[in-house]
Copies of this chain bind each other. A is one copy, B any other.
Amino acid sequence: MAKQEKVGINVKKNDNLSEWYQQLVLKAELAEYSPVKGFMVIRPRGYYIWERIQDDLNKRISKKGVDNAYFPLLIPESFFKKEAKHAKGFKPEVAWVANREEERLAIRPTSETIMYDSYSRWIRSWRDLPLRINQWCNVIRWETKATRLFLRTREFLWQEGHCVYETKKGCDKETMGYLEDYEKLCKELLCLPVIKGKKSESEKFAGAYYTLTIESIMPDGKSLQCGTSHNLGQGFAESFGINFLDRNEKKALPWQNSWGISTRLIGALSMVHGDDKGLVLPPKIVKNKVVVVPIIFDKEKEKVLVEAKKIVKSLKKCNAILDDREGYSAGWKFNEWELKGIPIRIEIGPKDLVNKEVILVRRDNGKKEGIKIKDLSKKIDEELNNMQKDLYENAKKLMDEKIVSVGEFKELEKAINDKKVGKTGFCGDVKCESKFDPLNAKVLCIDFKENKCKCVVCGKETNNLAYIGKSY
């Protein structure tokens, strides 16, 4: 008889979110710490989610004419230096390769510089534009803050799209378009509601003209940046000598953007949807959507097992698995599959056989229902669809509750102390922005819609309605 260690997370989500999250990721086998400080191993259950994110985004961007490619891991130091603000922004985080070539080689923290070197050779004429390229790869940024699996690690996986346009207008439009793709991916695939907006000047990407962002609000009221899309302006083009003959045969500088999402999303969705029992996952990103647990007593064992196997076979399309392990109680098995976030559990015992039915249990809301076996396949499709919808709706409600409109600075202070995000006017001035530091808060983003309001710090009239809060 196998040991039946207690499975599950031994701290409540509401009591200690940080410890709960760490146990969740480790015990649900999404990832583990690597022996090298700051690095992580993405285990199959976590990587499967990443592959679904890749498939989903690839479909969206390929429709927009984006091609995937791959650029070198190592970047010459001189490339970084070409765009001054960019170089400064990444300098502390770069890992270098030990004395292999005369020039120092960086392990990419991002690929603008190495890609734009190629672009300067590939682009000659307006006919070559827009150029839209994306790569899926690993990047290294030598974080000094404490590691948090998926949320802050020295290596992570991401995609970085890098496009070049004839005009500012074309660039603006598509910079927004990719952000909207991210928003849709978060909603439709990951059931993750986000707020979107523009970063303030001090929060924008190193070297960018402006940065757009989607942010997800975690249960502790802290915001997690989930994806960004930068209009890079013409600065990189100038530094890297990217220019083209325009429609009037004149030499011109193009406009560029870059946009990225990363494995961080796996952390975001786990933290938002999970509960005290473990992972709760949107059905679309789970390989085995159903687990069948036969409730076995010695007498009727064979009959129950035969029926359970038949059911598993009939549910091939949702990759149903059978848990017929001996030496584990049914309750222990329930706990394990709840921990791992299998969306639907089917229980079948001798009594159910007589009634030709099974018990169906939904992971997200625990709803139990007796279902006739003949209706099972249809019912499961329905419940998986409902679960995908419900997860988003519930998360959206929770997020909305965490955002409060405030007018006075004191109100903002209270909101942040209450683990909420304040929505309020912000004039854009760096001096005013610095007043959020003592609250450990910052401007998460500025709403795209213009709203006449007053700056929460200086009281000046402004059109910027900003989200202000703590962040990961």
Contacts and interface: CB of A to CB of B under 8 A. Distances in A.
B107 A36 contact: no
Contacts of A48: 67-68
Interface stretch (A93-101, A213-221, A278-286, A404-412): A93-101
Interface string A40-66: 111110111011000000000000000
Contacts of A70: 41-42, 47, 50, 138, 157
A365 B73 CA distance: 39
Identify which of A41, A137, A157, A325 gathers the most chain B CB atoms within 10 Å of its CB. Answer: A41
Interface in A1-38: 2, 32, 34-37
A125 B32 CA distance: 20
A72 B40 contact: yes
Interface string A84-108: 0000000000011111110001010
Given A39-B72, A68-B51, A125-B2, A44 B97 contact: no
A279 B315 CA distance: 45
Contacts of A127: 2, 325
Contact of A107 (B43, B107, B117): B107
A353 to B, nearest CB: 28
Interface residues of A, number: 51
Interface string A64-83: 00011111111110010000
A138 B137 contact: yes
A114 interface: yes
Given A69-B47, A96-B97, A74 B155 contact: yes
A118 interface: yes
Nearest to A121: B32
Contacts of A99: 98
Contacts of A436: none
Given A98-B95, A114-B34, A44 B73 contact: no
Interface string A103-142: 0010100000010011001000101000001000110101
B72 A34 contact: yes
Nearest to A138: B73
Given A40-B72, A69-B43, A71-B41, A107 B118 contact: no
A69 B97 contact: no
Contact of A39 (B36, B67, B74): B74
Contact of A96 (B71, B98, B133, B325): B98
Central interface residue in A42, A46, A70, A79, by most chain B CB within 10 Å: A70
Contacts of A37: 101
Nearest to A115: B41
A418 to B, nearest CB: 38
A69 B42 contact: yes
15 contacts: A34-B72, A35-B79, A35-B114, A36-B74, A37-B101, A39-B73, A41-B69, A42-B69, A46-B69, A47-B68, A70-B157, A74-B155, A96-B97, A97-B97, A137-B138
Given A39-B72, A50-B70, A98-B99, 11 more contacts: A35-B76, A36-B72, A36-B74, A39-B74, A41-B70, A46-B69, A47-B68, A95-B100, A96-B97, A97-B97, A100-B142
Query: What are the 6 closest A-B residue pairs judged by CB atoms, nearest first?
Result: A44-B67, A39-B72, A42-B70, A98-B98, A96-B98, A34-B72
Interface of A: 2, 32, 34-37, 39-44, 46-48, 50-51, 67-76, 79, 95-101, 105, 107, 114, 117-118, 121, 125, 127, 133, 137-138, 140, 142, 155, 157, 325
